[in-house]
Amino acid sequence: MVDKAKIILVLFYICTGGVWFLIILFQFDWKIYPYLSSLYYTFSLLWIPLFYHFIFYITSTAEDKDFNYIHYIVPLIFFVILLIYPFFRPMNISFQGVNNDIVIVPIHRKTSLWVYLLAVFRRLFMLTYGVLIFLRIKRLGFDADKWFYSHNWLWVIMRIYIVIFIVTFLRLFDYSAAWPVILLTVAMAISLVLLQSVIGFNMIRGNYKFIGVNTAEEPVDGKRKYTNFQKSRYKSYNNKKLRVSITIDRSEFENYFRLKKPYLNSKLKIDDLVDRFNACKNVISSYVNNTYGMSFSWYVNHWRLKEMDRLMTLKSNKGKDVKDLVLKAGFGSYRSYMRAKAYFQDKNVSR
């Protein structure tokens, strides 16, 4: 699912990027519109189900079925129609559409009506998927808390989508002056870029969790099962009697470090704990800061220092180079070890 979501996201960026690029390009040279209008309308339709597809993956749970690719049939049909249509469309009708002067003239009444209906259909298509996206995000609500998942940014992109729809709807009307058209065009381009930026920022920072992916790991007793803590939260979710606050079980967290020793990996990152604790990295980072009063990297080094103390007490390590023991304890270098040692000495933290 993760790989599929990334592919969908790339296609989404291509389509939305193509839309705002062509919108701005048309402002500089209207004459190219008849030649690129098919591509423009295809992009402007295709990015909508792609966006919904991405939201579907982000908000999926284990109970969800696979995404239905029938959502792409409408854009595909219009792509074929729009590819053929320019060969039968008078050039003057093309420029009428560009200048928002969609007047049904007697000579080309059917052609002008097609241009208008296409514009209306695009708005209805966008409205329909806006409702579907809203229902997906709203449905996630409690489920997200169950999996310690930070999802507030999804409401931000929902609001941006609404702004894009309003701007698109307003572009349907005819304006006597040029400035409203220019203003709406700029607003459309900015909104699309903002939508891309918010999604990209949160994906890079890891503010998501693919809930539908089965990521249960072997707990410390070696049996594949959920902990009592997870079961109690799941029971509360099913009964819908208690909205449990987002948290991580402290004993489970510390036992994982004590018994599994993930800190021995010198390249350990907070991302590596996301699947283990079913929490996005922001939640884990916030938990470590609030519980232990230090950043995640210093918390890991704290465990490495404890491991270093243990290694130095072993008779088998007597006479060995300290630099070799440092690497065994999980530090990337001797310098990192000395920096961590000095840090905790200054903080007067016992190991």
- Please say if the pLDDT value at position 105 is more than 80: no
Nearest to 41 by CA among 112, 110, 102, 120: 120
Read off the pTM.
0.60
Residues 6 or more apart in contact with residue 9 via CB below 8 angstroms: 54, 199, 203
CA–CA gap between residue 117 and residue 122 (Å, rounded): 8
55-93 pLDDT, tens digit per residue, is 888 887 666 778 888 999 988 888 888 777 766 665 555
- Please say if the pLDDT value at position 228 is more than 60: no
CA–CA gap between residue 94 and residue 178 (Å, rounded): 18
CA–CA gap between residue 89 and residue 111 (Å, rounded): 7
Q: Which of 154-163, 176-185, 233-242, 302-311 is the least confident region?
A: 233-242
CA–CA gap between residue 112 and residue 104 (Å, rounded): 5
DSSP state of 171: T
